[in-house]
Amino acid sequence: MKAAPFDYVRAEGLDHALELLHQHGYEAKLLAGGQSLVPMMAMRLARPALLVDIHRVSALRSLDVSDKAVVTGAVVRQRTLEDETSLHARIPLVAAALRWVGHGQTRNRGTVGGSLVHADPSAELPLAALVLDARLRLTSRDEGERSVAAGDFFLGPMFTDTRDTECLTAIEWPVWDARGTGCAFDEIAIRHGDFAMASAAAQVRVDASGVCRRAAFGLGGVDGVPRRFPELAQRLEGQRLDDDLLRGVAEDAAAACEPGSDLHATAEYRRHLAAVLAVRVLRQAAQSAKSSVRTV
């Protein structure tokens, strides 16, 4: 496998990168960690005329923490978030999702923003961003910065709302109240590190009496984009999270998905996996939330 011919420029800063995107438009691709783009180029599934290397742009490597959100620059390494244990209490679902991303070697190079822009429907970070209702900041030379909710960002398999002249600059991950909050992430793959046949993520918050006050969950790998289910999550709020309720919500979520079939699994089997994983993460998140009420 060998990539088609291309030119390469290392961006000297964000303004330089945006200028190059303005000049070259769709013929240019941004290179951050390269864990997804480089293999696609080797298989000639992607043929950019110009690679703009942004992994040394300091403006994209920021990490800002507040009571309301954790804001990560687009080229922050996945390993950085994984190792930054002080963030795990603030965005625990992201930490849980990262354990499933590829292998240690890929997380050393892979970036948070790169995974989101690549938008593989089986990828873990897009699902976590969707469930948490993260916001993505996109910047272009002429139009400046705009903010897009994760629910509006993922448009199809490897297709996002990023315009040809835009660079993803930062991701804003909302922080839930730590007391009474629990989360879980799980997936099924042929081997650990392979693309997931199905994945599920959930985060819930309960009060001291065990009643759910906030809930969010979603499924990955079972549709053209990761899916979240706000209407179904609302059925959990104001309720005690018993198994019958969780199972009914999980099965309804799986039924709403439209997975494809391939040599690894049929659509029906993927839908079955989605229901199993959904109830599993909802149950684990609820148990973790109840424990958090007692210990925080």
| pLDDT surpassing 90 at residue 140 | yes
- Look-up: residue for tokens 């910065």? 145
pLDDT confidence bin for 237, thresholds 50/70/90? very high
The domain locations on the chain are 7-53, 58-174, 181-295
Stretch 8-29: mean pLDDT, rounded?
96
**How high is the pLDDT of residue 232?**
97
| pTM for this predicted structure | 0.95
pLDDT, tens digit (0-9, with 9 covering 90-100), for 71-117: 999 999 999 999 998 899 999 999 999 999 998 888 999 999 999 99
CATH 3.30.43.10 fits 7-53, yes or no: yes
How many residues belong to the chain? 296
- Tens of pLDDT, residue by residue over 199-217, are 999 999 999 999 999 999 9
pLDDT at 274 over 90: yes
Supply the pLDDT for residue 122.
94
Q: Does the pLDDT at position 296 exceed 60?
A: no
Query: Residue 295: what pLDDT?
Result: 60
Secondary structure E strands in the chain: 7-10, 28-31, 50-53, 63-65, 69-73, 135-140, 144-149, 154-156, 159-160, 167-174, 181-188, 198-206, 212-220, 227-228
Residue 34 has pLDDT above 90, yes or no: no
For domain 58-174, which CATH number applies: 2.60.40.420, 3.30.465.10, 3.40.50.300, 3.10.350.10? 3.30.465.10
Cβ count near 236 (within 10 Å): 24
Beta bridge mates, 147: 137
**Measured distance CA(112)–CA(98) in Å, rounded:** 10
What is 181-295's CATH number? Answer: 3.30.390.50
pLDDT at 160 exceeding the cut of 90: yes
pLDDT tier, 174 (very low <50, low <70, confident <90, very high otherwise): very high
Residue 33: pLDDT above 70?
yes
Percent of the residues in the chain that have a pLDDT greater than 90, as a whole number: 82
| Closest CA relative to residue 188, chosen from 276, 129, 88, 128 | 276
